[in-house]
Structure 1
Amino acid sequence: MAHLFQVDRVKLLCSCGMLKPITAIYFCRHCQKLRCGNCVSHEVDTLFCPNCLENMPSTEARLKKNRCANCFDCPSCGHTLSTRATSIQAPVLEDPSKTVARKVYYLACTSCRWTSRDVGLKDQTVATGGWTEQDSPHYKNLQALLEHYRTLAQKEKMDKDKKRYSNRKSSFLSLSDKYSLSSVMSRKSLSPISPFSPKVSLDESQTSEVTPSEATEEIEGLPENIFIEEINLSSVSTIGQRMASPEWQPDHTSELYPLHKHILVKRSLRCRHCEHNLSKPEYNPSSVKFKIQLGAFYHVPEVRMVKEVELKWGVETQVQVSFCNPTPHDMTVALLPFVPEAYTLQHDGDNGESGPTSVSSGSIVRVVEIVPENPDLKLHSDVALPQGQFVLSARDDTAEYDDHDSASAYKDDPLVVAWRRANKVGVNLMVTPHQGAKGAKVGFVLRYDYTNTVATATESRTVTLNIPVIINVGAVSE
């Protein structure tokens, strides 16, 4: 029965037109729309090392090339390197004829047994000592190119600023003549990028000179013993090991140096329409909690298949589906027919359908229009939905320990509700696959009453939302 709980069996139609499972979609309490990972803004919240859990500002991470200075990865297998201690006999400074035991440290991999001694790195006297860095042969050329293009970018910026302020020349002169501004005040009011400020230009002497590369038809030939000498595959580096060090790309395993560990990112998600946060983690890297987590799993009724059924062409089969209320408020739910043509060209309105939001020109909210996508919404099966409504009781964590029958508190129609347990309700759907269909896929619109509990609201208010749901019932046989 494990295949019944796969999240890909039941998908929701996002506001951007994508079909996503409920675990991969968000619910904006301000827009009251579904948002998936493709229609939200991804923002970098914190940068940290996954090994030492040290926070790092974005400017520092940029200077360090998004790598940690103290943690290393194994260049052979990619596993995190650990610092090992050992004792060696070292001569005494006062009397070289005598030796004393000293503790030294080296890097070792617990997975593939690679050590820093394999490449000739000297042992360090401190555990966090500065290991010898490998110098890049193209370091000077890269720095010269960066400096050259940085100078060109500054020059282009100054040229744009001069053009921007060129139209204000006449108005500024007339203003100074009218009110007789003193020379001191005029100098103070001048902008450094204004055409009246002291001339600052980048002449040819200030720009860094870069020697252009020249193409050549001759290439370096292969060594003479490449076809004679026997190859030892254990001493040749793999493609993954070479690409892990793009600056050097070592050909042999004896040239593999420790790699600084990459920095990870904690990101926050923001709604593109109302710019409210949908997901925001804690600042502490060791914390797995979220300050804000508006997942649809906590605001939209969860739909699941109860058991697997055998489907045949043209035969009406009963399929049982369960609905679960994740909120602490009662929900009134109704199932409406799903018309694929109505969602091919989506329009965002008050009826809860999906699509890009359009606002008036006087709105202060910056709206980014999202082009809706048209997924495959063709349904090769007919479904008979139960008529009427049913109530999903509020979520109660202690309900599973209560022996009281909650079904007696609700007057459920037996033609609609098959069973009820706490905040879950089972509903029977009658599915009829079309002739020649390989799989039965049905859809309906889940209409429910959602109690909005936004912190800015003075009191809870209930709205009616429509969520399109697509269920992959299973394979169909003849």
Structure 2
Amino acid sequence: MAHLFKVDRVRLLCSCGVLKPITAIYFCRHCLKLRCGNCVSHEVDTLFCPNCLENMPSTEARLKKNRCANCFDCPSCCHTLSTRATSIQAPSPEDSNKTVARKVYYLACTSCRWTSRDVGLKDQTVATGGWSEQDNEHYKYLQSLLEHYRSVAQQEKLDRERKRFSHRKSAYLSLTDKYSLPSLLGRKSLTPLSPYAPKGDSSQSLDMTASEATAEVEGLPDEIFTEEVVLSSVTDMEQRMASPEWQPEKTSDLYPLHKHILVKRSLRCRHCEHNLSKPEYNPSSIKFKIQLGAFYHVPEVRMIRQVELKSEVETCVQVSLCNPTPHDMTLAFLPFVPEAYTAMQQKVEEPTDGGSLNTSSMVRVVDIPPEKTDLTPSADVALPQGQVILAARDDTAEYDDQDSISSYKDDPLVVAWRRANKVGINLLVTPKANVSRAKVGFVLRYDYTNTVATASESRTVTLNIPVMVDVGTVSE
């Protein structure tokens, strides 16, 4: 029965033309549309370390390469390293002939038993900080590359600004007045690539030479053919890629890795620019200030039991509908027309001007083209006629095991059972010939009570949600 509750069995069609399960889709209460991860803008709220839960500003995180300075990961198994304390005998500062016990600290992994002593790191006298860093021999070269490409980006930015205002001819405002020479020279990121930079400035000159391809490669060492390979002393690909600056070949060269910083992000609708999901500022809190998941606003459709399907044979399939809102819902089933939604996909996939500008945060959001989704049903379905009423959600009714079907006038051929805010619906499915899996589609029309509508607007609106259900495998 566990396979019946897989979220991929029932998927909703997003407004961008992508099929997503109800747990991976959002509902905007302002524009009354379904939104998935491709049609929302992602904004970073806070940066924090998942181990020490310390908040970090974006500028500081950028300087530290999005890593925590005090927390480390094991270079062998990527587990979080813990600080261990031990005591050693050290000469007394008062009398060198005597020894006293002194507490020192080292890093240890509780998973694979790797310690910082394995690589030769000295024990520290304090519990936090002070660990020696591994030097990168290519650091200066990488910094020169960053400076070079930063200057190239600055030059391209100045060229775009110059072209933007070049068509505006005015006797009182020129490009030089708008971007004066002293202000341009005062920019810290200005480089000799710009025509406004002073010539002969050796402090900002970058001696960059283009790399040339060569057919000659370094030969392998002689000991690789003579010495026996010990697999326990050789690092695997995952361990090497965890340290891209050094890529150690032997386990004796593994150094502790600074822990990656995580982000708490908020999701914003691209059309109305309202928040769909916004977490709390505290990193240890799992609550949300705003959480407009479709699970809380759209009726949930589930498969009840698995039935045996045969090709071109009508079979009764039972699905359940659940009302997550505290208001009554009136449902109706409409036929699914694939051609209408295929045209919607083609309209979404049309090329744009490179992205949309989010005016609230002034961040350019690049449109992600949706993946190709097959919207053609492989089975015919006889949808129930008429309307079905779903009761409002009541937490106290979860403990009531008695059916409430007596208080509703339901057709027994359509409604199989009713309990609290859930109802079972019978669907007649006929798989097509020469198909391995039966997929049916229908449009779920329901009355949604909008809780953010103003007094002049209607609180109750009628929405149509396309649904695709994977009924199961078809036997001959």
TM-score, normalised to structure 1, is 0.86
- How far the C-alpha of 1:117 sits from its partner, in A, is 0.8
Larger Rg: 1
Q: Deviations over 1:357-396 (max 9, x none)?
A: x9xxxxx999998867662122222211111111001000
2 CA distance for matches of 1:371 and 1:450? 29
Instruction: Indicate the residue corresponding to 1:241 in structure 2.
Output: 239
Deviations 1:421-468 (A, max 9, x none): 111111111111222222221111111000001176677710011111
Alignment partner of 1:390: what SS? strand
In the other structure, the counterpart of 2:268 is 270
**Are the structure 2 counterparts of residues 158 and 269 from structure 1 closer, same or farther at C-alpha, using a change threshold of 3 Å?**
closer
Matched with 2:406 is 408
Deviations 1:19-50 (A, max 9, x none): 11111111111111111112111111211111
For residues 68-467 of structure 1, the aligned pairs below 5 Å read: 68-155=68-155, 157=157, 170-172=171-173, 193-194=179-180, 201-205=197-201, 206-212=203-209, 215=212, 218-346=216-344, 375-402=373-400, 406-454=404-452, 461-467=459-465
Task: Report the Cα distance in structure 2 between the residues aligned to 1:456 and 1:61, rounded to whole angstroms.
Answer: 42
SS at structure 2 position matched to 1:102: strand
Cα distance change on mapping 1:152 and 1:445 into 2, 3 Å: closer
Residues 127/368 of structure 1: CA separation in 2 closer, same or farther (3 Å cut): closer
Unaligned runs of 5+ in 2: 186-195, 353-358
| The 10-residue stretch of structure 1 (70-79 or 234-243) with the greater mean CA deviation from structure 2 | 234-243
Does 328-337 or 264-273 show the bigger shift? Answer: 264-273
Q: Which amino acid aligns with 1:209?
A: L
Per-residue displacement from partner, 1:221-254 (whole Å, max 9, x unpaired)?
3323321122222222222111111111112111
Q: Which moved more, 1:204-213 or 1:459-468?
A: 204-213
Change (3 A) 1:164 1:170: farther
Looking at structure 1, the residues matched to 106 and 253 of structure 2 have their Cα atoms a distance apart, in angstroms, of 17
316-325 vs 458-467, which moves further: 458-467
Q: Is the 8 A contact 2:86 2:104 kept in 1?
A: yes
Gaps of 5+ in 1: 174-189, 349-353, 359-363
Helix, strand or coil at the partner of 1:344 = helix
Q: Assess, with a 3 A threshold, how the Cα gap between structure 1 residues 129 and 398 changes in structure 2: closer, same or farther.
A: same
Cα distance change on mapping 1:72 and 1:369 into 2, 3 Å: closer
Rounded to whole Å, the distance in 1 between the matches of 2:2 and 2:127 is 48
Partners of 1:334 and 1:14 in 2: how far apart?
19
Contact preservation (8 Å) 2:314, 2:431: yes
In the alignment, the residues of structure 1 paired with residue 88 and residue 266 of structure 2 have an alpha-carbon distance, to the nearest angstrom, of 49
Question: CA 1:128 to 1:191, structure 2 compared with 1: closer, same or farther past 3 Å?
Answer: farther
Amino acid at match of 1:201: A
Superposition RMSD in Å = 3.0
- Describe the SS at the equivalent of 1:170: coil
1:30 matches 2:30: yes
CA distance 1:355–1:157, change in 2 (3 Å): closer
Contact in 2 for aligned 1:144/1:208 (Cα 8 Å): no
What SS does structure 2 have at the residue aligned with 1:17? Answer: coil
Give distance in 1, aligned partners of 2:71 and 2:314.
62
Deviation at 1:92, TM superposition (A): 1.0
* CA gap 1:226/1:435 in 2 versus in 1, 3 angstroms: closer
Relative to structure 1, the CA distance from residue 29 to residue 370 in structure 2 (aligned partners, 3 Å threshold; closer, same or farther) is farther
Q: CA deviation at 1:331?
A: 0.4
Residues 371, 231 of structure 1: alpha-carbon distance in 2 compared, 3 angstrom cutoff: closer
Between the aligned partners of 1:159 and 1:312, the Cα distance in structure 2 is: 66
Deviations 1:167-218 (A, max 9, x none): 6673259xxxxxxxxxxxxxxxx96822597976332424323252664555
SS at the partner of 2:229? coil
1:84 to 1:343, Cα distance in 2 relative to 1, 3 A: same
Aligned with 1:432: secondary structure?
Answer: strand
The separation in 1 between residues aligned to 2:135 and 2:91, in whole angstroms, is 31
Structure 2: how far apart are the matches of 1:438 and 1:202? Answer: 72
Whether contact under 8 Å (2:15, 2:33) holds in the other structure is: yes
Identity %: 75
* Contact 2:319/2:425 (8 A) holds in 1: yes
Q: Which amino acid aligns with 1:207?
A: Q
Question: Are residues 382 and 48 of structure 1, via their aligned partners in 2, closer, same or farther at CA, if it must alter by over 3 Å?
Answer: same
Matched residue type, 1:328? P
Q: Is the 8 A contact 1:47 1:57 kept in 2?
A: yes
The answer (yes or no) to whether the contact 1:162–1:195 under 8 Å persists in 2 is no
Check the 8 A contact 2:266/2:275 in 1, yes or no.
yes
Q: Which amino acid aligns with 1:16?
A: C
TM-score, scaled to structure 2: 0.87
The answer (yes or no) to whether the contact 1:148–1:210 under 8 Å persists in 2 is no
Match of 1:17 in 2: 17
The offset of 1:113, in angstroms, is: 0.9
Amino acid across the alignment from 2:140: K
Which letter maps to 1:119?
A: V
Distance in 2 between residues matched to 1:430 and 1:25, nearest whole Å:
28
Corresponding position of 1:477: 475
2: CA distance, partners of 1:195 / 1:95: 68
Deviation at 1:127, TM superposition (A): 0.3
- Number of residue pairs matched? 452
Asked whether the 8 Å contact 2:403–2:417 carries over to 1, the reply is no
